[in-house]
Amino acid sequence: MDLNDIQNAWNNEKADNVVVPDNLEKIQSANTPLDKIRKNLRNELFYQIISIIFIGFTPIIFKFPEKTTTPYYLLFSIFVAVSIYYLVKLYMFYKRLNNITLKTKDSLYETYFDVRLNMELYKTFGFALTPFIILFLLGHAYYKFPQTQNMAIDVLNNAQLIGIFSAVTISILSMGLVLEWWVQHFYGKYAKEIRNVIDQLKEEE
């Protein structure tokens, strides 16, 4: 290959693969929000595991009646299985974030979409656990406070199930709103910062 061939190959190289120093600095500026996402996710994983362990000892801590132990741990085993499935996925996401080096536009794009995808995964995780949490709380209230047992009997006898269903539905929707706020507060605003960097790079193309 002579000098002309080398020159032609150089000229034909895609401009997208060439990262000028100014663009490189902007791309690497996304490391700051990315570091905050890593930190929040690491804390989340730790507290989620601690919470699961605590829930596992709930019957002992609150001295549940012995007859409730078997159904409680049956429900808890399903809860743990669901939690492990999502926590493993989130941990794998955390490991990917630790191995990311932002040096090209492509790496920035891939990281941004990975963050957005796992934000939705986190929401799904929260919604999957919401029914279990409500059942745990209802079960605890039913056996811990005798008056709730009489109330439940009265409600069933009076056919006021619509009120119960409405209360459960409102509780799930409320927890959904809290979950939405939680994800946006700890991850969404940093994802938006990364998106702003991407938009700035697009404007310069």
**Can you give the pLDDT at residue 41?**
96
**Can you give the pLDDT at residue 95?**
95
Which residue carries 């269903």 as its tokens? 165
SS3 30: coil
CB 199 within 8 A of CB 43: no
**Can you give the pLDDT at residue 10?**
42
Q: Give the Cα separation of 27 and 24 in Å (integer).
A: 5
Residue 90 has, within 13 A of its CA and on its CB side, a CA count of 27
Cα–Cα nearest to 136, from 44, 31, 56:
56
86, containing H or E segment: helix 69-98
Along the chain (205 residues), what's the average pLDDT of each consecutive run of 10 residues?
A: 48 48 79 94 95 90 82 91 96 93 87 95 91 78 60 55 75 89 95 93 75
CB 179 within 8 A of CB 128: no
Count of C-beta atoms within a 10 Å radius of residue 59: 19
Q: Note the pTM of the prediction, 2 decimals.
A: 0.79
